[in-house]
Amino acid sequence: MQVGRYDVAIIGAGAAGMMCAAVAGQRGRRVVLIEHAHRVGEKIRISGGGRCNFTNVHAGPQHYLSREPQFARDVLRAYSPRDFMALVKLHRIGFHEKHKGQLFCDDSSQRIIDMLRAECAQGRVQWMQPCGVRHVEPTGAGFRLGTDHGVLLARRVVVATGGLPVPKIGASDYGLRLARQFGLQVVPPQPALVPLTFATEHWQPFAGLAGVAGEVKVSCGAQSFDEDLLFTHRGLSGPAILQISSFWTPGDSLRIDLAPGHDLGRLLRQAKTQSRQSLLNVLAQWMPRRLAQVWVEAQGLPGDRRLAEVADAKLTALGATLAAWSVRPSGTEGWRKAEVMRGGVDTAELHPLTLEARRVPGLHFIGEVVDVTGWLGGYNFQWAWASGHAAGMAV
């Protein structure tokens, strides 16, 4: 059964797909938006603790990982965080800056979903939902899509199926399979912005610290982040670890400064003359007390002894271990806990302004399914909006 003929068929009604549909529809294109899940924009809804960190005012190509580090530059320049902020203001959605340029809704992420739906309605976008896509074939004049609702024809197809994280809310590898079907290269997908885990026997001394958090500087190779770290039962999480996880590959060690900005060896030696307190009480001024306790015990130091009684050399060594904790994760918490996918459709296959496949005219890939992965902090949504906008303007 043929169910329609369209200028553009967009597969996936998430952040990028809805943005693309709205832009193309408002340019007068006949657009159908196909979504297989029962609810649209689920990742928007659950993002930012329910308040959606929808962009970052500082977003630039340096905040993205990709085989081609500059690939995102043109698309990000053509649709900036300011452009998305203007849209949010137009819809009278209150927002605030939380931390390092991260913008969040004042009330609920649902406002962003409602905004995108309203923009789609303005572009007379037709919805097919819930509806799975079974196959996409080229026809010469466009594409034939076999869907759960019947066959439809479209001059252009935009693939906006997102990444693999959180399969229970609709994530699928369909976009990657479609890319391979058309002979396009895919950079192997990996979980990113994800907590890291450790072998049980290595983690045993720290397992009791689950819930302890503090600011650290974490490094992997040449990349480092100053953010909060959180101990979990199985390993490490928190913004510092999520950020560095995108740069970590199995076998790499992380270097963690547990009291960044402080030369603890020197501070402890200085404090000897001024303080009658125990080593532990003094150390707890600069780091979480439970962590200080485990650390001092692991070093075989008497935490309850007066600081003045501990030898200078021991304090210097203690400061050095706290500034350069070296740990080797055994793995990640995987797709269930990852916020994004690293890898995806190889950017070398795509035109950097239109996201159209160079070798398959009329086929576009946008959002997380593309090998462009943002840092934590609103960068991934900004890529979704900007790439959706770019394709919406091109189709």
Q: Which residues bind ligand FDA (CB under 6 A)?
A: 11-17, 34-37, 40, 42-43, 46-48, 52-53, 132-133, 160-162, 165-166, 170, 172, 174, 339-340, 367-368, 378-381, 384
Pairwise CA distance, residues 368 & 169, whole Å: 15
SS3 146: strand
Q: How far is the CB of 198 from ligand FDA (least distance, A)?
A: 22
Give bridge partners of residue 190 from the DSSP assignment. 342
Q: How far is the CB of 144 from ligand FDA (least distance, A)?
A: 16
Pairwise CA distance, residues 301 & 215, whole Å: 24
Nearest 10 degrees: Cα torsion 41, 45, 51, 54 = -20
Q: How far is the CB of 280 from ligand FDA (least distance, A)?
A: 37
Pairwise CA distance, residues 140 & 266, whole Å: 73
Residue 100 has φ and ψ, to the nearest 5°, of: 50, 45
Q: How far is the CB of 33 from ligand FDA (least distance, A)?
A: 9
Q: How far is the CB of 166 from ligand FDA (least distance, A)?
A: 5
Q: How far is the CB of 6 from ligand FDA (least distance, A)?
A: 15
| Residue 235 token pair | 């390993």
- Closest-CA residue to 52 (of 390, 291, 375, 377): 377
Q: How far is the CB of 120 from ligand FDA (least distance, A)?
A: 13
Minimum CB distance to ligand FDA smaller for 160 or for 292: 160
Minimum CB distance to ligand FDA smaller for 307 or for 384: 384
Where do runs of H (alpha helix) occur along the chain? 15-26, 42-46, 73-78, 81-90, 110-122, 174-181, 200-203, 239-245, 264-274, 279-283, 289-298, 312-323, 379-394
- Could you give the maximum distance between any two Cα atoms of the chain, in Å? 87
CB 179 within 8 A of CB 345: yes
Amino acid symbol at 6 = Y
Minimum CB distance to ligand FDA smaller for 121 or for 298: 121
Minimum CB distance to ligand FDA smaller for 239 or for 288: 239
Compute CA distances 93 → 40, 78, 226, whole Å. 19, 23, 31
Minimum CB distance to ligand FDA smaller for 269 or for 342: 342
Residue nearest to ligand FDA (CB): 14
Q: How far is the CB of 171 from ligand FDA (least distance, A)?
A: 6
Amino acid symbol at 16 = A
Give bridge partners of residue 64 from the DSSP assignment. 374
Minimum CB distance to ligand FDA smaller for 13 or for 315: 13
Q: How far is the CB of 383 from ligand FDA (least distance, A)?
A: 7
Overall residue count recorded for the chain in this entry: 395
Residue 349 has φ and ψ, to the nearest 5°, of: -85, -15
β-strands 31-34, 126-128: how paired?
parallel
Minimum CB distance to ligand FDA smaller for 283 or for 357: 357
CB 375 within 8 A of CB 62: no
Q: How far is the CB of 188 from ligand FDA (least distance, A)?
A: 18
Report the interhelical angle of 81-90 vs 379-394 (nearest 10°).
90
Minimum CB distance to ligand FDA smaller for 161 or for 224: 161
Amino acid symbol at 225 = F
Q: Using the Cα atoms of residue 69, residue 87, residue 381 and residue 171 in order, give the sign of their dihedral.
A: negative
Minimum CB distance to ligand FDA smaller for 172 or for 278: 172
Minimum CB distance to ligand FDA smaller for 46 or for 327: 46
